[in-house]
Chains A and B, each alone.
Chain A
Amino acid sequence: AQRVTQPEKLLSVFKGAPVELKCNYSYSGSPELFWYVQYSRQRLQLLLRHISRESIKGFTADLNKGETSFHLKKPFAQEEDSAMYYCALSNAGNMLTFGGGTRLMVKP
């Protein structure tokens, strides 16, 4: 069975501080991992996916198969980054299994 774990329900940092949102997964196959974000009063939307290896809004995430992790990082947090972040794993591209989510609060 596949599982996604986000150990922190809430992460609070000051503006300009580095951010790391943790995500660990368990999956027997070759995983496809994603980060979704939900800003206040907006719908859930894709932030980035591991196969793209891209940086979106300053965020990056590296898949570490040895540690089964896909942590989301940003060197300098901005207030507009405050949102709910979900890590998700795809099995063969159909279903998504989501982690419990981490609420990021960036304080001024």
Chain B
Amino acid sequence: DAGVIQSPRHEVTEMGQEVTLRCKPISGHDYLFWYRQTMMRGLELLIYFNNNVPIDDSGMPEDRFSAKMPNASFSTLKIQPSEPRDSAVYFCASRIAGTGGEQYFGPGTRLTVT
């Protein structure tokens, strides 16, 4: 298995544009997590899914952010409209139920909003 796959790896966009980040979890994993990493705030959980259903989105910063998981092998995190303060590295992670806290992370998407 190639592990958790994220695309794109780098994204540069202008303020006001829509940004879509993609994630493919490890096959068979039933939890999927989206995190944001910044120098100021560290690693923050944005939202997580269980069996494709959003369970906790309390970390989503505001209505400009939305996440979907239409099936077990794909999830998206969308920012519309994007702002410079959204610049960060966005990580996707997945895990199997019952394995406690071990989550498997993707390589991340570095987003720069100018």
Contact = CB atoms under 8 A, between A and B. Distances in A.
Q: Answer whether A and B are interacting partners.
A: yes
Interface of A: 32, 34, 43-46, 49, 51, 86, 88, 90, 93-101
A89 B31 CA distance: 17
A90 B101 contact: yes
A98 B42 contact: yes
A96 B103 contact: yes
A100 B102 CA distance: 18
Contacts of B100: 32, 49, 51, 90, 93
Nearest to A45: B105
Interface of B: 3-4, 31, 33, 35, 41-45, 48, 50, 55-56, 91, 93, 98-108
Contacts, number: 56
A43 B107 contact: yes
B56 A46 contact: no
B42 A94 contact: no
Given A49-B100, A51-B100, A94-B55, A101 B43 contact: yes
The A contact surface, by secondary structure, is strand
B42 A43 contact: no
Given A94-B31, A96-B45, A44 B101 contact: no
Contacts of A32: 100-101
A46 B56 CA distance: 23
Contacts of B35: 98
B43 A86 contact: yes
A3 to B, nearest CB: 12
A6 B72 CA distance: 34
A49 B43 contact: no
Given A43-B3, A43-B107, A94-B48, A34 B43 contact: no
Nearest to B41: A100
11 contacts: A49-B100, A88-B101, A93-B100, A94-B48, A95-B48, A96-B103, A97-B45, A98-B43, A98-B45, A100-B42, A101-B42
A94 B45 CA distance: 12
B42 A44 contact: no
